[in-house]
Every structure is written in C-alpha cells, then in structure tokens.
Amino acid sequence: MDEFAAIHQKIAEEKSKLFEMAQAIHSNPEVGGQEIFASDLMTGYLEEKGFKVWRGVGGLKTAFMASYGDEGFHVGFCSEYDALPEIGHGCGHNLIGIAGVAAGVALASSLGNLPGRISVIGTPNEENEGGKVDLVRTGVFDDVDAAMMFHPGCSTSINVDSLACRDYRFIFHGRSVHASTEPWEGQNALDGVIQTFNGINALRQYLKDDVRVHGIITEGGLAPNVVPDRAAADFIIRARDSNYLAEVVEKVIACARGAAIATGTILEIKESGYPYDAMVSNRVMADLFEESLKESGYNIDSSYEEGRGSIDMGNVSRVTPSIHPVVAITDQWVPGHTHEFTALCNTAESYDVMLSVGEAMALTGLKILKDKNLQKKIIEEFSAATKKNLK
C-alpha cells in the first residue's frame, strides 16, 4: 500500500471515533480559555495514536502540542475548539478541531521511513482574544515549517486572506450633576461617546473600501436625570494592509480625542493586547490543498460568496508558511455565528466534509514531506510574501 492509500484507509478506519469526538465537542460547548473537555478529549486520543503531547503550551491551560516524529520538515495542523457564548459551536470549531486531529493521525500513519515531524497544535480561545497570538509570541510556531487549518462555511475559498485588526476601548470621564437643575455644572461623558461615533461616521467616506470600523456603546450612564460622568465604547478597526490600518487607527483615535475636547471630558484609551495580522496565504500550499481536496472526494458545489473577516491565523502566517482555506459544508446560505449554523455543524454532511478536509490536509502534508523541491518553493514564497507585506 502506498502512502496516499494509507491516508485514505486511516481516515476510513477512524471515521466513527472522529465523528464521535466532533459530536461530543458540539454537545459540550466551552468558551475560550475554558475548553477543558475538548482539549482532554483530543489530547487523550492523540496519545493513544502514538503522539507525544505537551499540554498548556504558550501559557494557555487548554492549548497543546501533539507531535509524531522527531526530525525533518515540520508540518503543523491547527485545531480550534472554543465555542461562542449562548450560541455554542456556531462557527464550527468542533469541525475545525477534529479535522486537524484527523489530518495529523492520518499523515502519521503514512510516514513510514519518510523523515518529517507532524504536529497537531491545539489553539484555544480564537473567538475571544485569539489564542494563536499568544502561541506565536511564546515561540510555539518557531520550529513549524508549514501550518494549515480549515474553516467551515457556505462557500469554498482556498487561497484565503483576511483583514488586519485592532481593538480599542474609549472611556470618557466627565462630571456628574442633576440633568435638570444644574446641567451647566456637568461634563457629559456620553456626549463624548456620541461625538466619537459622529466623527467616525464622517470619516468613513475618506477611507479605502476594505476598511471596517464598527463599535458599540458599553457604558452610557445609569439614569436619564443624571449627567453621566463615565461612558465607554468598544471599537474594532480592520483593513487589509497593516500599514494602512495604522493610519486609520490614528484617525479614529483623533475622532475620540476631538470629541473629548468638544465635550470637556477626559479620554482614556485602552488597546487590546491581541492585534490580528492580515493573513498571508502561501499559494504553493494552497494549490496543493486544492488538488488534494478534489482527491479526497469532496464534492459540495456552492455559489455563495462570503465576506472577509479577521483571523488569528494571520499572526501565524507571519512566522511560518500557512493556509486557512474556507470549505463549504452546505450548498445553502446559513449565516455564521447563529443557532442555525450551530445546528448545521452537527450533521452527517458537515462531518463528512470535516473528514474530507482532514484527508486533504494530510495529503497536502505528505506531498510536502516527500518533495524537497516543494519545501524549497514554499519557503521561498513565504520569504517573498512576508517581506512584501511588511513594507
């Protein structure tokens, strides 16, 4: 039996167990940083399959690195497994997590005497802060030569990019007084927030088409007859280019500063410690995955187009060659982060796609491990692409 047939056979052999784990994670949703059940389930299975497991990597208690093989080109499969509050697995992380596990186990079964290291990297807390940001910072990906994962959706897009992203909280401090008897003695913090929104809305017409600025008011006062002495708003700012994003951030901050001056309030700015970089998809790897997905038997035809968001895999793509394809699990349009998408991620069809993608990622990894010329091309393209995107 050749290595490619071995991958297909291993996926078939493990199908029932992989389905069972994906269903169990779906039935036991855990929010970011609390994915103890999912992490234990996956690491226990990987240990049974001969992987050496390190738990709590990167200082994250539910993160892990499970590796097979000791030397050679290092292929990593990223698994996510956190859920959304109240909605559950409305982003399909139960599928993402087990697809990575399936890919790792299948590729390991075909390794034989072929030199190489295979890792399944458990990356928690994607929905909240972005666990991969911490894993990148702490060097977890430093010796990974190629990384890949997939995301379920209603359309298929192989060479996926994303928007760089920054999060800010603007807190306005004013002076509280009775809103009717002596309003002239107060400084209305809520007015500072409202004027910030007005300034950003006026700014939008001067921003490039790929820019997104969206926010919510998180604090706006406690009673209508009291001038609020504190108000706050959270904003997410996105753009395709990280350098241009920095320019937009300064303009948005200027809107908030101007609002503080206009309302006589004091502005406090808090930036999230988890900035997302724009995804730099490795085209050599993406082409290999597209070829392998067809070979895995995947056959869903979807004509829908999905918009561009922000992903913490973008940070990984800046330190190692990476891909993050989106693969349709249905030919219908079902919005993500909804109860409807949660239900969709617990169907026989979605689990079949999960295993097809797992097989495709394993095939992609095998092709890379067998061909040093491919390895060279992947690294050369990564070097050129990251230099271009860092200018």
What three-state secondary structure class fits 22? helix
Confidence of residue 391 (pLDDT cuts 50, 70, 90): very low
Structure tokens at 372: 């040093």
In the chain the domains, ranked by start, together with CATH numbers, are 3-161+278-390 (3.40.630.10), 164-271 (3.30.70.360)
d(CA 220, CA 257): 18
Pick from 381, 389, 292, 347: nearest CA to 92:
347
Q: State which H helix or E strand residue 232 sits in.
A: strand 230-239
Q: What is the pLDDT of residues 266-283, one digit of tens each?
A: 999 999 999 999 999 999
Structure tokens at 324: 């993050």
Across the chain, mean pLDDT equals 95
d(CA 260, CA 243): 26
- The pLDDT of residue 230 is above 60: yes
CB 158 within 8 A of CB 325: yes
Cβ atoms within 10 Å, residue 34:
17
Query: Would you give the distance in Å from CA 20 to the centre of its chain?
Result: 24
CA–CA distances in Å: residue 207 to residues 22, 200, 201, 244? 42, 10, 11, 10
Pick from 325, 310, 249: nearest CA to 278:
310
State mean pLDDT over 327-334. Answer: 94
Confidence of residue 312 (pLDDT cuts 50, 70, 90): very high
Can you give the pLDDT at residue 329?
Answer: 96
Q: State which H helix or E strand residue 75 sits in.
A: strand 74-79
Cβ atoms within 10 Å, residue 14:
20
d(CA 135, CA 117): 19
What three-state secondary structure class fits 242? helix
Q: Where are the alpha helices (DSSP H) in the chain?
A: 3-27, 36-48, 93-110, 131-137, 189-203, 242-263, 283-295, 313-317, 339-344, 348-370, 372-390
Q: What is the pLDDT of residues 336-376, one digit of tens each?
A: 999 999 999 999 999 999 999 999 999 999 999 999 999 99
Confidence of residue 302 (pLDDT cuts 50, 70, 90): confident
Cβ-in-10-Å burial (0-12, 13-18, 19+) of 228 comes to buried
Residue 77, Ramachandran bin (φ over 0: left; ψ between -120 and 50: alpha; else beta): beta
pTM of the model: 0.91
C-alpha distance across the termini of the chain, in Å: 48
The residues pairing with 117 across neighbouring beta strands, listed in sequence order, are 74
CB 248 within 8 A of CB 109: no
Which residues, including other chains, have CB under 8 Å from residue 386's CB and lie 6 or more apart?
280, 318
d(CA 226, CA 286): 57
d(CA 279, CA 240): 9
Radius of gyration of the chain (CA): 23
